[in-house]
Structure 1
Amino acid sequence: MMDTQQTMISQTIRPEHHPHRVFLARHGQSASNCEGRIAGQLNPPLTEKGQRQALRLSTVLQDIRLTKVVTSSLSRSIETAKPTAERQGLTACSLAGINEISFGILEGRLRHDLDRDSQNILDQWTRDKANFRIPSGENLIDVRRRAIPALSRVFRENPGDNILIVGHRHTNLVILSALLGWDLHSIKDTSIQSKYVYELHLAPTPRIYTICLTGEARGRRLEGFLSGDAAMSSYKERGLGS
């Protein structure tokens, strides 16, 4: 059951303003990902692997006519979207509203080098990402308050279109929860990885497909939601799509 806050935010995107399809991807590997560095709103570039992932995304989506490409204002998101936008003849639109969650006083710290107090703070946040704020940082509800209104404006201007959003792990969780009516608390630990892109059909009945970007399954489209580890229980009847 959605909480009051969830219902309020979800309703800011009116059904008549939904695009035809939304493709939701996470940025490729960044330098901070490679280092194990906490980098919510820091601005590291993509690694060579991340650049290859960006090219792979553009290849997998090449037969889908996109009409809008949306990124955050962070370079790892912009760099990931660039090959796809160029292949489609589009200029990406950057929205600071979908920047990654702020980790506050832990920004820039190496995960393996945290002192006890900092690790305790990170552990508290990990247990309750929806509500707990790292000092000077955000929780998932804070992210939802800024991300969904920003996307609502894009959706109002592009109804009926196919839109690619290249976001971040926690921003993408917020977007999924708002568009599909998922409980934010129950999916907070879901691993959103760069090896999948999610295809969302929002009206009249929301549906989601997972498109694989790597390995032998590259380009395969599965009905339902597949995370980095396992399919969500909400989509147990997952099967191969067309």
Structure 2
Amino acid sequence: MGHGSSTRILAIRHGETAWNVDTRIQGQFDIPLNDTGFWQAERVAEALADEDIAVLYASDLVRAAETANAISRRIGLPVLHDVGLRERNFGLFQGRTVAEVEAIHPELVQRWKAREPDFEPEGAESLRTFYARSIDTVHRLAAAHPGQTVVMVAHGGVLDCLYRAACGMPIEAPRTWQLGNASINRLLFTGTRLTMVGWGDTQHLDGAALEESSDGGRDGSTPAHSLS
């Protein structure tokens, strides 16, 4: 696939939720956007209005679906949901803050913070399994649209995987990049791999973006254990 037939990917993180504010781990729990999140969704939709977008994909989790619905209304394309774009399943961690989990299972949180690739809290996906699922899904969707621009509305954890794939970062490496709510992240799919074009664009939020380390945090930091 030559450069001209590469797929342009606009990867969007969903807008803010109440659990983001509470620093609570959402995982695959279905948490809707809060008022700020709906505002962010409308802003990112406006920012994408002049893009030549061929198709709009989204995770089926409600926070991503609501963000994608705002984009759909603005650009006039239906939302195509794909479960492969879902956030990582965090098993018994879901619904709790990191502090709450640490108080109950300190040894598990230590392994989580260390980003052990094959660590699976009860009921959860391992980091390795989640990464493979996320990248395989994005490759599959992008491969169907050579030479076109595709929007994918997903989650912080999925975007983290995309960044690592595009930059050649191992999955166990600490995170040093931002994953802002309603951020626009630009990549190319060249038929075999992802490459980076631009990351973490929140200009459309006019300085009101709340940079978040995870679907469980909004303090602007990016701790290694935080996944959204």
Instruction: Tell me the TM-score normalised to structure 1 length.
Output: 0.74
Q: Is the 8 A contact 1:23 1:199 kept in 2?
A: yes
Alpha-carbon separation, structure 1, partners of 2:101 and 2:170: 31
Partner deviation per Cα, 1:103-154 (whole Å, 9 max, x = no partner): 1111112344346332432232022153322222123211122222323332
**Aligned pair in 2 of structure 1 residues 119, 36: CA closer, same or farther (>3 Å)?**
farther
- Report the equivalent of 1:192: 179
Q: Could you tell me how far apart the structure 2 residues matched to 1:50 and 1:119 are?
A: 32
Unaligned runs of 5+ in 1: 1-13, 219-227, 231-242
Specify every segment of 5 or more residues in structure 2 that has no aligned partner in the other structure, as ranges.
Answer: 210-219, 223-228
Tell me the equivalent position of 2:27: 40
Residue correspondence of structure 1 range 1-242 to structure 2 within 5 A: 19-114=6-101, 116-186=103-173, 188=175, 190-194=177-181, 196-203=183-190, 206-210=195-199, 211-212=201-202, 213-215=204-206
RMSD: 2.9
Aligned residues: 208
CA contact (8 A) 1:72 1:95 kept: yes
Cα distance in 1 between the residues matched to 2:111 and 2:39: 35
**Structure 2 Cα separation of the partners of residues 37 and 159 of structure 1:** 38
> Structure 1: how far apart are the matches of 2:6 and 2:198?
16
Q: 1:187 to 1:90 in 2, by over 3 A?
A: farther
* Aligned-partner SS, 1:155: helix
69-78 vs 31-40, greater mean Cα deviation: 31-40
**Residues 54-95 of structure 1: CA deviation (Å, up to 9, x unaligned):** 011011111112111111110001111111122111111111
Q: What is the distance in 1 between the residues matched to 2:76 and 2:54?
A: 9
Contact 1:22/1:199, CA 8 A, preserved across alignment: yes
Contact 1:106 1:118 in 2 (8 A): no
Higher normalized contact order (CA 8 Å, seq sep 6+, divided by chain length): 2
Instruction: Give yes or no for contact 2:166–2:196 (8 Å, CA) kept in 1.
Output: no
Letter in 2 for 1:102: N
Residue 159 of structure 1, CA deviation: 1.2
Contact 1:199 1:208 in 2 (8 A): yes
Paired letter, 2:10: F
Distance 1:97 1:50, change over 3 A: same
Instruction: Report the Cα offset of residue 178 of structure 1.
Output: 2.6
- Give CA-to-partner distance per residue, 1:190-225, whole Å, 9 cap, x none: 44111531111344993421322322599xxxxxxx
Sequence identity percentage: 24
SS in 1 for 2:65: helix
* Partner Cα distance (2:37, 2:182) in 1: 11
